[in-house]
Structure 1
Amino acid sequence: MSKFLAIGLSVVVLLQSLRLDMGDLAHMDELFEHAQFHAEKYGDNFFVFLSKHYGELQEEHTQDHQEERKEHEKLPFNNTFCSHVLTVYVVHKFEMQVNTATPDVDYTANFEYLDNYVFLEKTDIFQPPQLA
Structure 2
Amino acid sequence: MKTLTTILLSCLVLFQSAGISISDTFKLIDLVEHTKYHSQEYGDDCFTFFEKHYGALKTSHQKNHKEEKSQHERLPFQHINANHSSFEVVVMSYEFYLDTPILTLISNSHFYYQNLYSYLKRPSVFQPPQSV
* Deviation of the 1:15 alpha carbon: 1.6
Q: Which moved more, 1:42-51 or 1:4-13?
A: 4-13
- The corresponding residue for 1:68 is 68
State the one-letter code of the partner of 2:12: V
- The corresponding residue for 1:104 is 102
Counterparts of residues 1-132 of structure 1 (less than 5 Å) = 1-84=1-84, 86=86, 88=88, 96-99=94-97, 103-108=101-106, 121=117, 124=120, 130-132=124-126
Query: Residues of 1 paired with 2:2 and 2:73: CA distance?
Result: 40
* Deviation of the 1:131 alpha carbon: 2.2
Unaligned 5+ runs, structure 2: 127-132
Query: Residues of 1 paired with 2:53 and 2:122: CA distance?
Result: 90
State the one-letter code of the partner of 2:27: H
State the one-letter code of the partner of 2:124: Q
Higher relative contact order (CA 8 A, sep 6+): 2
Unaligned 5+ runs, structure 1: none
Query: Residues of 2 paired with 1:85 and 1:79: CA distance?
Result: 18
Query: Residues of 2 paired with 1:6 and 1:85: CA distance?
Result: 26
How many residue pairs get matched?
121
Q: How high is the TM-score relative to the length of structure 1? A: 0.69
Residue identity over aligned pairs, in percent, reads 31
Aligned CA distance change for structure 1 residues 53 and 122 (closer, same or farther; 3 Å): farther
